[in-house]
Amino acid sequence: MKHGFGYKFLVRWFVCSLGLWVAAGLISSVSYGGSLWAVLIAGLLLAVINAFIRPVLVFFALPAVLLSLGLFMLVINGFTVLLASWLYSPLHVTNFWGAMLAGVIIGLVNYLVTAILESNKQPS
């Protein structure tokens, strides 16, 4: 079964929200105000940033990404979390290191959710 952009975006939104929730629970420099709506809206904003702004950032930072063997992606992920924090005040990230760590946690949650979804696919 093929899934369109809408399904993939909903999964991305869920993963970003779940990742932010986990990150806020583990990192003292990340908080979202404690309400479900705040983490869902922050996750939506982060999903939009990841869908539209992050590819542009990756394109312009491609030399740094290649020279660092991909480690510069941690900086880009941290910047996207920080940008979401700047644009949505209930999501509060106090420093760049916390944003980078939140980006790593969101990436790990994304990996786990994707692995679970892929393992549940029925063979065609």
pLDDT digits (tens, 9 = 90+) for 71-82: 999 999 999 999
The count of C-alpha atoms lying within 13 angstroms of the C-alpha of 59, restricted to the half-sphere facing its C-beta, is: 5
- The whole-number pLDDT of residue 124 equals 57
Q: Are 42 and 84 in contact (CB under 8 A)?
A: yes
In a domain, residue 115? The reply is yes
The 3-class secondary structure across 59-95, one letter per residue, is HHCHHHHHHCCCCHHHHHHHHHHHHHHHHCCCCEECC
In a domain, residue 80? The reply is yes
Q: Are 20 and 43 in contact (CB under 8 A)?
A: yes
- The whole-number pLDDT of residue 2 equals 65
Task: Give percent above pLDDT 70 in the chain.
Answer: 96
In a domain, residue 124? The reply is no
pLDDT digits (tens, 9 = 90+) for 29-65: 999 988 999 999 999 999 999 999 999 999 999 999 9
Closest among 105, 55, 45, 95 to 76, alpha carbons compared: 55
Distance (Å) of CA 25 to CA 15, 102, 105 = 15, 10, 11
- What is the C-alpha to C-alpha distance for residues 45 and 48, in angstroms, rounded to an integer? 5
**What's the whole-model pTM score?**
0.90
Q: Are 15 and 109 in contact (CB under 8 A)?
A: yes
Say how many domains are in the chain. Answer: 1
In a domain, residue 93? The reply is yes
In a domain, residue 91? The reply is yes
In a domain, residue 33? The reply is yes
Range of the domain at 47: 5-119
In a domain, residue 82? The reply is yes
